[in-house]
Structure 1
Amino acid sequence: MPYFSYKARNGAGELLQGILEGADSGAIAEQLFGSGATPIEINPSRKGPGAKEGGGSLMARLMEKKVTSMDVQLFSRQIYTLLKSGVPIMRGLAGLQESAINKSFAKVVKDLRESLDAGRELSTAMMRHPKVFDTFYLSMVRVGEMTGRLEEVFLRLFDHLEFDRDMRERVKTAMRYPTFVVAAMVIAMVIVNVFVIPQFAAVFKTFNAELPLMTRILLATSQFTVAYWPAMLAMAGGAVFGFRSWVATTKGRLAWDRHKLRIPIAGKIIHKATMARFARSFALSTRSGVPIVQALTVVSQTADNAYLSARIEGMRDGVERGESILRTSVAAAVF
């Protein structure tokens, strides 16, 4: 739907202005009247609610700090504390907007406040920012709205995000040493082939003797690397580009994610970390009152591994057919 910039006055006569989304100017006027504001001016706008007035330069947009998971985690804790203390959500969002260190997230909070002021639900307002609030987060907020336990849901989301961040950090830490070792081996092989072996080749020529087979293979490999390194570099770049393009496809992503689970040592780490996040997310969903089928659907979308996500979706299909969770878990063959 298109965006419209508006100017209006509330019951106290204060001037309000911002950008709303609606079918036409009449729909925007209805939203404003519904929130207790009287529209003064409504004009079409090409900018969304998160855009700056005047657009801003391209460099400013590129240098703008992105919203991180830590921002969302801190927001969850703060909004829980405010709601628990009895602070109205509109006043709480206004305070969070002013105190936000990340200006990009401050814009998101501002849009949430304007959407609530226009009569939208909080979960609907968050849906306008899919890069900030994922499907699982939105589903939990929606459940909190329906059950009247929104503050409790935000506390659980904070714990969930903290656990998720801790698991990701552990995986990165565990993968750091193997990655460093592989990178060091590749660099060492390049240095030896390009700089060290050619020096020995010049010495071997003075011997005028037949060299062993392995030595000749080593020298030939070095000569090939020195002579054709531009072509090898281009082939490596093409291979990386082709691999990334293949992984971007549905079948490629599924096959690669399944293969990652079979990598020695690293595969077990990835599998255990993903399943730990699944168990935590599924427990949080069911404890908050989300139906099992819906919980499996939402949790499958939050898994980092496409293969494991497909297995979880298979569990959901089995539950829909009337099978037990135990039976579908055994059939999934990932536990």
Structure 2
Amino acid sequence: MPAYAYTGLNAGGKTVKGIETADSVAALKGVLKRKGVYLTAVTEAAAGSASSSRATGGGREIDLGQLFDRIRPKDVSGMTRLLSTLLCAGVTLPEALVALTEQVESPNFKNILSDIGSKVNEGSSLADAMASHGHVFTKLYINMIRAGEASGSLETVLIRIADFMDQQEELRSKLTTAMFYPMAMAVVGIGVVALLMVKVVPSISEIFAGQGAELPFTTRTLIATSDFVTKFWWLVILAAIGVVYLARKYRNSPAGRETTDHLLLSLPVIGGLARKIAIARFARTLATMLSSGVQLLQALDIVRSLLGNVILEKVLTQARDEIREGAGIAPALKRSGHFPALVTHMIAVGERSGQLEQMLTDLADAYDRETSSAITRATALLEPLMIVLMGGSVGFIVFAIMTPILQMNQLGAQ
């Protein structure tokens, strides 16, 4: 019977290690489960059967939790809110982390929280312990935690982080929902046109060829296109993949990103929507960080990396440099020309009244409402546009097929 060296989590969320014999990895998981240990990693401890060698990757460590376990922003948000609740109830941070480790269902997340709890017990700050898991906790998250620990208001900061993450997730959900219907229509339309071009048009073209009549230009174009797609479909797929690859490569280059971001902001409907989303994210993030005690210049550095548009990122970089030299936020943003007058005016009022965080929050709420309305309008425009494109494509095919048929019927009647 093969032996396995394993790593797991016990009922208290602590990492345990040991060596156990079992017929297979599945059997090992059952044995450890009965002992109250959740298996997270396993290594072949000694040479065993071929099947056990394959199960453990030939002696290499396999992290079973990471194979199919993905930590979602919603999981992090829920954990953050629960941590704040426990701390507000008077539970100490180490005890709260143990309780969270038992609470979460994701094995991977359990392992991460257990590691964070161990580091906190060893004297590390919560921010430093989370910083070693940067793939789960963002730079924004960690800096806000660090500011909350420094100011003694960690519970309040945790609530703000959870609210911020929930609002960002809600915005992403709205965008995904809005794009689902147009994308589904596009897929259906492409499928219908492809079916007509590959199955229907070749059959019709054989009938026309047997008649020996001269075909209209639209029909000849349709038949030629159908022949090309039928014979060289693989080339069409390769060309599409190549175009997508080159477009993404160009987009990831510095010059390509600047060009595409400038073009995005210049588009009639989509540009306005992208600008509203960026401004809402800027205002919400900056307000949350300033309220949590993060310094302005440091907050601007973090906010800049979250905008997702290199043009607006350059604006914030320039604004940060001007603020460092003593300028206000509103004049620095106004000179760029990329932030609407309403935004700079509200920020200026907030600076003068000493209520910048509240003014930024109100601004973010206003632009969130504008974003929702803009998404609704964009979706309302996309739906008829997709219908027109689909109808136009199918209509062209039908017209190209029916024109010679009607001409032949007219000649037959004469």
TM-score range, shorter chain: 0.7 to 0.9
For the pair 1:294 / 2:298, whether they are aligned, the reply is: yes
Give CA-to-partner distance per residue, 1:37-68, whole Å, 9 cap, x none.
xxxxxxxxxxxxxx746497648355331111
The SS at the match of 2:232 is helix
The SS at the match of 1:206 is helix
CA RMSD of aligned residues (A): 2.5
Aligned residue type for 1:321: E
Give the percent of matched residue pairs that are identical in Structure 1 and Structure 2: 29
How big is the shift at 1:116?
A: 1.1
Give CA-to-partner distance per residue, 1:70-127, whole Å, 9 cap, x none.
1110111011111111110001101111111111111111111111122211111111
Which of 78, 93, 111 is the aligned partner of 1:74?
78
Aligned residue type for 1:229: W
Which of 230, 235, 240 is the aligned partner of 1:236?
240
TM-score (norm 2): 0.64
For the pair 1:97 / 2:101, whether they are aligned, the reply is: yes
Compared with structure 1, are the counterparts of its residues 266 and 175 closer, same or farther at alpha carbon in structure 2 (3 Å cutoff)? farther
Measured in 1, the distance between the counterparts of 2:75 and 2:292 equals 23
For the pair 1:206 / 2:207, whether they are aligned, the reply is: no
Contact 2:81–2:162 (Cα < 8 Å) also in 1:
yes
Measured in 2, the distance between the counterparts of 1:125 and 1:80 equals 17
Which of 139, 152, 159 is the aligned partner of 1:155?
159
1:9 equivalent in structure 2 = none
For the pair 1:192 / 2:222, whether they are aligned, the reply is: no
1:13 equivalent in structure 2 = none
Which of 319, 327, 333 is the aligned partner of 1:329?
333
Measured in 2, the distance between the counterparts of 1:180 and 1:261 equals 26
How big is the shift at 1:135?
A: 0.9
How big is the shift at 1:137?
A: 0.6
Measured in 2, the distance between the counterparts of 1:125 and 1:62 equals 20
Measured in 2, the distance between the counterparts of 1:107 and 1:59 equals 11
**Bigger CA drift: 196-205 or 116-125?**
196-205
Higher percent of residues as helix: 2
Q: Map residues 301-316 of structure 1 onto 2, 5 A cutoff.
A: 301-316=305-320
Which of 115, 118, 130 is the aligned partner of 1:114?
118
Aligned residue type for 2:229: T
Give CA-to-partner distance per residue, 1:150-171, whole Å, 9 cap, x none.
1110011111011111111111
Q: Map residues 1-335 of structure 1 onto 2, 5 A cutoff.
A: 52=41, 54=43, 58=62, 60=64, 63-263=67-267, 265-335=269-339
**Bigger CA drift: 115-124 or 324-333?**
324-333
Compared with structure 1, are the counterparts of its residues 188 and 211 closer, same or farther at alpha carbon in structure 2 (3 Å cutoff)? same
**Bigger CA drift: 243-252 or 233-242?**
243-252
Measured in 2, the distance between the counterparts of 1:237 and 1:77 equals 43
Compared with structure 1, are the counterparts of its residues 97 and 177 closer, same or farther at alpha carbon in structure 2 (3 Å cutoff)? same
**Bigger CA drift: 192-201 or 299-308?**
299-308
Compared with structure 1, are the counterparts of its residues 194 and 116 closer, same or farther at alpha carbon in structure 2 (3 Å cutoff)? same
Measured in 1, the distance between the counterparts of 2:182 and 2:310 equals 23
Measured in 1, the distance between the counterparts of 2:42 and 2:127 equals 26
Aligned residue type for 2:284: R
Compared with structure 1, are the counterparts of its residues 257 and 182 closer, same or farther at alpha carbon in structure 2 (3 Å cutoff)? farther
Compared with structure 1, are the counterparts of its residues 195 and 323 closer, same or farther at alpha carbon in structure 2 (3 Å cutoff)? farther
2:379 equivalent in structure 1 = none
How big is the shift at 1:236?
A: 1.7
Contact 2:251–2:257 (Cα < 8 Å) also in 1:
yes
Instruction: State the aligned residue count.
Output: 289
Aligned residue type for 1:134: T
Give CA-to-partner distance per residue, 1:193-229, whole Å, 9 cap, x none.
2222222212222332222222222221111111211
Give CA-to-partner distance per residue, 1:24-49, whole Å, 9 cap, x none.
xxxxxxxxxxxxxxxxxxxxxxxxxx
Compared with structure 1, are the counterparts of its residues 156 and 198 closer, same or farther at alpha carbon in structure 2 (3 Å cutoff)? same
Contact 2:65–2:107 (Cα < 8 Å) also in 1:
no
Aligned residue type for 2:171: M
Aligned residue type for 2:327: E
Return the index of the structure with the highest Cα Rg: 2
Measured in 2, the distance between the counterparts of 1:117 and 1:143 equals 20
